[in-house]
Amino acid sequence: MLSGSNLDACYDLRRDEVKKAIEYINRQVGTAIDIGELTFLTEMNVIMSMLWGGTLEADQQNKVGAEFRKVFAKILGLLSKPNISDFFPILARFDIQGIEKQGKALLQIVGEIFDAVINERVKIVEDEIKNAGKKKDFIHVLLELEKQEVDGVKINKRQLKAIMMDIVIGGTDTTATMAEWTMAEVVHQREVMEKVQKELEEVVGMNNMVEEFHLSKLHYLEAVVKEAFRLHPALPLLIPKRPSQSCMVGGYTIPKDTRIIVNVWAVQRDPQLWDNQLEFKPERFLSEPSKWDYNGNNFQYIPFGSGRRVCAGIPLAERMVMYILASLLHSFDWKPTKAKDEDLSEKFGFVTRKATPFLAVPTKRLHN
């Protein structure tokens, strides 16, 4: 579902949502824009469009999006909340903090939203899709998997909805958070923003909008994004791991079922590994770019994890963060609403957000 060919097939959907964001900003020129909120809503619409491929009517999609956004923050809040039962399993059945009860209620709401979408999607038969010239969307792919059986096992409706929820949660908040962090760093370092915009002028031109085929040529912007992922990894502790059998790692015995947490935030700020580790310096990623990819082969830099459990959404995340940032910085100049030394501290949680929302004021760069 997240292969290059399927992502290419969904490009028009991503392009439409980014254009809507640019058009919105164009109407708000001179006023403060909440970058985190803007990128979150854009990414949410992108993910929803990719899931059901525009087969829902616009007003219906907006309704689904509005309903999901209501529970989204609560879900992430529960994910960020320490659960005493994780440390004292004997207390799990008492649900002292009410986390299990709240979680079940929120998941039921999400399940009902997805049920409505799936039921609507099932009504659209294969012939109608072909006749309308529409490509398969993610839900269509999942529904096909539901009919298949491999080694006596096939996906059921509950698992289908779980996959959808993983895609929506994993593909929205983290991407929006990284776009906000990158913009905050870039806007507060004018020389970095000027370098990015100069590169955009050379690659895209001042009479064109950014397209995804431009992204592979934006080497400095890519370095800027990678530096933002280094300083502000979206998931500072990644996702907890649990080995299915005892093993040896670096001379240490890891017992079976031990809960393993990897502190990527600390690794990527380790002064023994990085020069001027607290400085936002994109140039460090311009040399040997293949050494600094997102696939987790270099344990010095693993913002998406590594190994068999590396993030499945890397291709989509990389495209969307780059595409949104390139569009925002190419179409507009940005100034912070506060002094240059605005607080760039972090707010601890499952996802590392800015302690305060980042507001910036846009002015037009493009004539048309």
Binding residues for heme: 311
Strands 353-354 and 346-347 turn out to be: antiparallel
The CA-to-CA distance between both ends of the chain, in Å, stands at: 36
Evaluate whether 204 touches 71 at the Cβ level (below 8 Å): no
Which pair of structure tokens corresponds to residue 367? 């004539």
**Distance between CA atoms of 125 and 138, rounded to whole angstroms?**
15
Phi-psi region of 54 (alpha: psi -120 to 50; beta: other; left: phi over 0): left
DSSP 135: P
Determine the residue type at 338. K
CA distances from 217 to 3, 37, 367 (A): 21, 28, 23
Could you list the residues known to form a binding site, using ranges: 311
Q: Where are the alpha helices (DSSP H) in 32-156?
A: 35-52, 58-80, 84-87, 99-122, 126-132, 138-147
**Distance between CA atoms of 313 and 296, rounded to whole angstroms?**
13
**Distance between CA atoms of 179 and 187, rounded to whole angstroms?**
12
* Residue located via tokens 């390139």: 326
Evaluate whether 352 touches 346 at the Cβ level (below 8 Å): yes
**Distance between CA atoms of 80 and 351, rounded to whole angstroms?**
8
Strands 33-34 and 247-249 turn out to be: unpaired
Which pair of structure tokens corresponds to residue 123? 């009504």
Evaluate whether 319 touches 14 at the Cβ level (below 8 Å): yes
* Residue located via tokens 């590169």: 199
Cα-to-chain-centroid distance, residue 139:
19
| Cβ neighbourhood burial of 287 (10 Å; 0-12, 13-18, 19+) | exposed
Which pair of structure tokens corresponds to residue 165? 């929820």
